[in-house]
Structure 1
């Protein structure tokens, strides 16, 4: 329960609940937030989460099935929260955006004896949406794109994917073909922590990296296939890292 997150500021008579947990990064600090893809009536709560907890990066591990980002270059109101979004890059595997809250834009006035200038400060949020399955290379690319590493000073990152909360056998029969977002979020966060371990210590303990986040949510990284992918990720990363070193 101590890893559960709550929305802070009262907003249009909505409560403080959101399906999200804080997850530790490589050095133990709660650098990640794992949350479900919002429903139509909870998109506003997703943006409250981002705003309340000063999220700096958002990773959408699946393509949009529900519109939670405005069209590029436009501002859209989600239940009372204005969100501005602009696409910055698109390729075969991902789309990048910058997002900010226009109502949070602050005017700073600089004064001296002769002139008075006004400067507008904007806190941009980096967003990456994955268009392909979560492969080793896409994990490495997203990590590089957002500048997420053991030495990064801005790793407050929210990871979003579909959750399947199975309660009864009947629901299992209905949902068994759905992707399990808890494991998808877990795989991505475990991968980033493990790559941070490689960079910082030049050695790795995949099992420890996984157990560190399973304490928060036991559903993270359940299958042998995911463990094998994490080991393979380390091999791929080290090969690329060694190849990039000057001779």
Structure 2
């Protein structure tokens, strides 16, 4: 992994096209799946103990990489989220499931505890049942959710992405401003990935990350579906920005070790293979 002090350059459409060309082909896909690390039930101890707090019993967090929430009396310390590393920074990314209706406060605690300043929902927020419990949908609106006071500072639209700036104030802790990105055109019922939406949301994340410290939290229904393609392309772009050379196998393996199901979803959809970004770049 490259050092975080390496100098990076601004990514252009040609870099995005290069990333698309370097995504795993079918043969690499088969090899990656064959190398998938086999974890034991003990490795999923927390997820199994809190089975009702998971969207899917088939996607549980590996204990070693689990994001444990800080202890607060009367509250859970579990959320289905794992730390991932980007090409430039260790543990700078988080892969998590959407908040369930009864654990939206835990989702906000995850944001607070792990200083997630950029939060990405890979679908429209309105498609998630729990959104109304914590998210103030219009500018200036506020919400209370457990120990959190949330205010919508602004909402703007970009290409295939809505950018929501929120202020969250946890009782007894410092307030923080976060950016919540959502994909209004990538409906939850869609079974396959939209290549242009995926690239546009990654572009928006990279823009926000230049102005924000803290981690990037990416959420999908189960914490793996849709997240896998996002992280693969994100890390490939980081590699290209540093040295123009990409070890795509290693990039995918880094994600696979910590969230094995992420790579399973990459290959199941063949999302990355379908990202023919070279032709997209020519369209612009």
Query: Which of the five TM-score ranges fits, normalised by the shorter chain?
Result: 0.7 to 0.9
The corresponding residue for 1:130 is: 183
The corresponding residue for 2:238 is: 196
The corresponding residue for 1:86 is: 153
The corresponding residue for 2:136 is: 70
Please, which runs of 5 or more residues in structure 1 have no aligned partner?
107-120, 164-180
Change in CA separation of 1:224 and 1:7 when aligned onto 2, cut-off 3 Å: closer
1:18 Cα deviation after fit: 0.9
Please, which runs of 5 or more residues in structure 2 have no aligned partner?
1-62, 187-192
Q: RMSD over aligned Cα, in angstroms?
A: 3.1
Relative to the length of structure 2, the TM-score reads: 0.64
Change in CA separation of 1:19 and 1:211 when aligned onto 2, cut-off 3 Å: same
Relative to the length of structure 1, the TM-score reads: 0.72
> Quick one: distance in 2 between partners of 1:149 and 1:221?
25
Change in CA separation of 1:29 and 1:238 when aligned onto 2, cut-off 3 Å: farther
Q: Is the 8 A contact 1:47 1:81 kept in 2?
A: yes
Look up the SS of the partner of 1:196 in the other structure: helix
Q: How does 1:39-188 map to 2 (within 5 A)?
A: 39-64=100-125, 65-66=128-129, 67=131, 68-72=134-138, 73-90=140-157, 93-102=160-169, 123-133=176-186, 134-147=193-206, 154=213, 156-163=215-222, 181-188=223-230
The corresponding residue for 2:36 is: none
Q: Is the 8 A contact 1:140 1:237 kept in 2?
A: no
The corresponding residue for 1:236 is: 277
Change in CA separation of 1:138 and 1:155 when aligned onto 2, cut-off 3 Å: farther
Q: Is the 8 A contact 1:92 1:131 kept in 2?
A: no
> Quick one: distance in 2 between partners of 1:200 and 1:243?
26
> Quick one: distance in 2 between partners of 1:99 and 1:150?
15
Structure having the higher helix fraction is: 2
The corresponding residue for 1:168 is: none
Aligned pairs, how many? 209
Find the structure with the greater CA-based Rg. 1
Q: Is the 8 A contact 1:98 1:124 kept in 2?
A: yes
